[in-house]
Amino acid sequence: MPEHIRVLNKFEWLPPEKRPSRFPGPKPPRKPETRKPVFFVARDGDDLYFVNNSTETLNSVSTSTGGCQTLDDEVMTISSAKPLYFYTHMKLLNLDKKILFS
């Protein structure tokens, strides 16, 4: 199993209006985002991190696969039988945890 990596203060939340544009030209105007997420996912190259932006202790965090397929009026749910990875003790402010995929 790959190594679990924990880092402190690696990622900072940027509201959408302050993020750089991926397209040329000016960005369209938008209402400023005043809320700040408690948890978010951040990318660093090929690595994906779960960021606990709260002061709360998270006893556990798990990852799994899931989704659905539709055909006409029928819906089929798809999910993994058990969590792919299980993390414990995510209790520090701004503790960024690398999410591992097989």
Provide the mean pLDDT of the chain.
Answer: 77
pLDDT tier at 90 (50, 70, 90 boundaries)? low
Q: Please report where in the chains the tokens 């792919």 appear, as a residue.
A: 84
> In terms of Cα–Cα distance, which of 47, 52, 31 is closest to 94?
52
Q: What is the pLDDT of residue 77?
A: 83
pLDDT, one tens digit per residue, over 58-85 is 777 777 777 888 888 888 888 777 766 7
Q: Residue 27: which pLDDT band, with cuts at 50, 70 and 90?
A: confident
pTM over cut 0.95: no
Ramachandran class of 25: left when φ > 0, alpha when ψ lies in -120 to 50, beta otherwise: left
Q: Mean of the pLDDT values across residues 51-60?
A: 79
Domain coordinates in residue numbering, the chain: 6-20+36-99
